[in-house]
Amino acid sequence: MKPAIGQYIPGNSFLHRTDPRIKILMTVIYMVAIMFIDSFIGYAASGAVLVAAVIASRLSPIYVLKSVKPLIFLILLTIVLNIFFYGGETLWAQFWIIKIYKEAILFSVKMALRILILVAGASLLTFTTSSIALTDGLERLMSPLEFIHFPAHDIAMMMSIALRFIPIFSDEATRIMDAQKSRGAEFDTGGLIKKVKGLVPIIIPLIVSAFRRAEDLASAMEARCYRGGKGRTRFKVLKFTWRDPLAFAIITALLVCIIVFSL
């Protein structure tokens, strides 16, 4: 199994059985709290909360680590840009007109940690919540906005479909790359321009496949007389249990403490 963002891993853990509405709210609060943290103590504490959530989900930590693997290039690029373009007061090194400050290095590390923790938290939500439950949870949370004619069901459905297709397109891109390599294509050699040109044989078939899958999905929804959320019933009705307010209270209290003591 090659986990990715948007992939659901079935289970019967505490986190799997928690109401999707609570999990969505906890994830949002967690992400907002990460944006307020500005110290390594805060990042360490938020990382400990993430580890506790992984333990509660009974998932292998390898799944979470592999979910952030596609972002390694983005993280490295963020670190490099911040090191060379972020100012400061304590000069550590200077190469010609390029100056590297201590504050820039610390800020780069903080940004990298922030991205890692945010993506890992979002991945844990999709690992423990099926696409159907995620759609229902999002729709129920946004349902109060329907009185202003906000398309809660349509937005929730689009987000769920987008998340569901991420692992599908990831696997498809891997298959296309393997097929191109078997025909002699090279993606890891040459300069930057050659590597970018080498992505064309991957991107074009992937775009064609995306349009084909979208058309097939639209035809399937029309064949099943899909007309949106109006009058739609649900096979599984969402109900709160004792674990839902408990999990929400625990994560909220922990994140408030982290923000207060890390600022």
Distance of alpha carbon 58 from alpha carbon 16, whole angstroms:
9
pLDDT tens by residue, 210-254: 888 888 988 988 888 777 766 666 667 777 888 788 888 888 888
CA distances from 195 to 22, 189, 192, 202, 241 (A): 43, 7, 5, 12, 52
Tell which phi-psi region holds residue 225, choosing left (phi > 0), alpha (psi between -120 and 50) or beta.
Answer: left
In the predicted structure, residue 110 carries a pLDDT above the cut 80: yes
Q: Does position 1 have pLDDT exceeding 50, yes or no?
A: no
Radius of gyration of the chain (CA): 22
DSSP β-bridge partners for residue 94:
99
Q: Are 116 and 128 in contact (CB under 8 A)?
A: no
Question: Which residue has 């992937």 as its token pair?
Answer: 206
Per domain, the residue ranges of the chain are 1-129+237-263, 151-232
pTM of the model: 0.73
Structure confidence by residue, pLDDT tens digits, 8-64: 888 888 888 888 888 988 888 888 888 888 888 888 888 888 888 888 888 888 888
What are the two backbone dihedrals, phi and then psi, of residue 94, each rounded to the nearest 5 degrees?
A: -145, 130
Beta bridge partners, 236, equal: none
- How far apart, in whole angstroms, are the C-alpha atoms of residue 39 and residue 22? 27
User: What gap in Å lies between CA 120 and CA 57, rounded to an integer?
Assistant: 13
